[in-house]
């Protein structure tokens, strides 16, 4: 099947580091993407991992382990504006073009 | 246009009525997706269009839901005989190259549908 599991909420303080996990079922898996969504806004793309390892883009890093069917998004130097929901999405059928989203993790950054 | 455009932004309708939701993708994007998002929930896949290929309709929840994409551009999602459980935000996204699964989805701001 195609499902991705994420913790529903995480709270962290400004300036800290937070890791948000995503586990998935492997049938037809191509790669893992991450999207950010602020309240009332549209999801926006953050990163993509096709291969095992760490991808870094500024304060954001994303990690994938295919053998563990697991990935995470790491946010460093947290800012208040990082408060949002973060969704992992797996590329499955249709050559990986069919994206299935996890339920999302709501991140609350406190001063 | 500069981004994915959806209309209307909000729609309130009575139970049993039909509604049409419109999506204008980014010009040149061959892949188009519809998702549904209930309050505080994740994105539920509905349908996927890629170029002139037959759409992937595997996510449509019932036969009351249908979608078309005319001329490889604008798409319309139609919900017939709306029910209260259809209330949600309907998000459209497009992608530059359907065969490249690492190119990002660009989302519109969605249509918030409320069925009373």
Residues of chain A with pLDDT under 50: none
Using the predicted structure, report yes or no on whether residue B49 has a pLDDT greater than 70: yes
B83-106, pLDDT tens digit by residue? 999 999 999 999 987 555 678 999
Give the residue from chain A lying closest to B103, CA to CA.
A48
Question: What confidence category does residue B19 fall into, taking pLDDT thresholds of 50, 70 and 90?
Answer: very high
Which of B101, B103, B109 is most worth mutating to test chain A (most A CB atoms within 10 A of its CB)?
B101
CA distance A105 to chain B (A): 9
* A97 vs B31 pLDDT, higher one: B31
pLDDT score at B71: 81
Q: What is the predicted pLDDT for the residue at A87?
A: 97
Per-residue H/E/C for chain A: CCCEECCCEEEEECCCCEEEEEEECCCCCCEEEEEEECCCCCCEEEEEECCCEEEEECCEEEEEECCCCEEEEEECCCCHHHCEEEEEEEECCCCCCCEEECCCEEEEEEC
Q: Do B50 and A104 touch (CB under 8 A)?
A: no
Q: Cis link prior to B8 (omega < 30° from 0)?
A: yes
Contacts of B33 in chain A (CB under 8 A): 99
The pLDDT of residue A95 is 63
Residue among A31, A98, A100 minimizing CB distance to B102: A31
Taking CA atoms, A48 is separated from A35, B12, B36, B38, B61, in Å, by 9, 36, 22, 25, 28
């Amino acid at each position: 099947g195609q499902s991705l599991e994420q913790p529903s909420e995480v709270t962290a303080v400004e300036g800290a580091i937070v890791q948000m996990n995503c586990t998935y079922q492997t049938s037809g898996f191509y790669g893992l993407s991450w999207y950010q969504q602020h309240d009332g806004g549209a999801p926006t793309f953050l990163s993509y991992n096709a291969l095992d390892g760490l991808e870094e883009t500024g304060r954001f890093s994303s990690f994938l382990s295919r053998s563990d069917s697991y990935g995470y998004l790491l946010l460093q130097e947290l800012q208040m504006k990082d408060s949002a929901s973060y969704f992992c999405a797996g590329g499955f059928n249709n050559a990986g073009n069919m994206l299935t989203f996890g339920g999302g993790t709501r991140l609350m950054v406190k001063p | 246009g500069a981004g994915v455009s959806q209309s209307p932004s909000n729609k309130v309708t009575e139970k049993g009525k039909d509604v049409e939701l419109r999506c204008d993708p980014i010009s040149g994007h061959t892949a188009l997706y519809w998702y549904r998002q209930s309050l505080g929930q994740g994105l539920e896949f509905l349908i996927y269009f890629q170029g002139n290929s037959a759409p992937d309709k595997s996510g449509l929840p019932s036969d009351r839901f249908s979608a078309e994409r005319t001329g490889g551009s604008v798409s319309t999602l139609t919900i017939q005989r709306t029910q209260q459980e259809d209330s949600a935000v309907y998000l459209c996204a497009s992608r530059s190259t359907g065969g490249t699964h690492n190119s990002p989805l660009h989302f519109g701001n969605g249509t918030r549908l409320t069925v009373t």
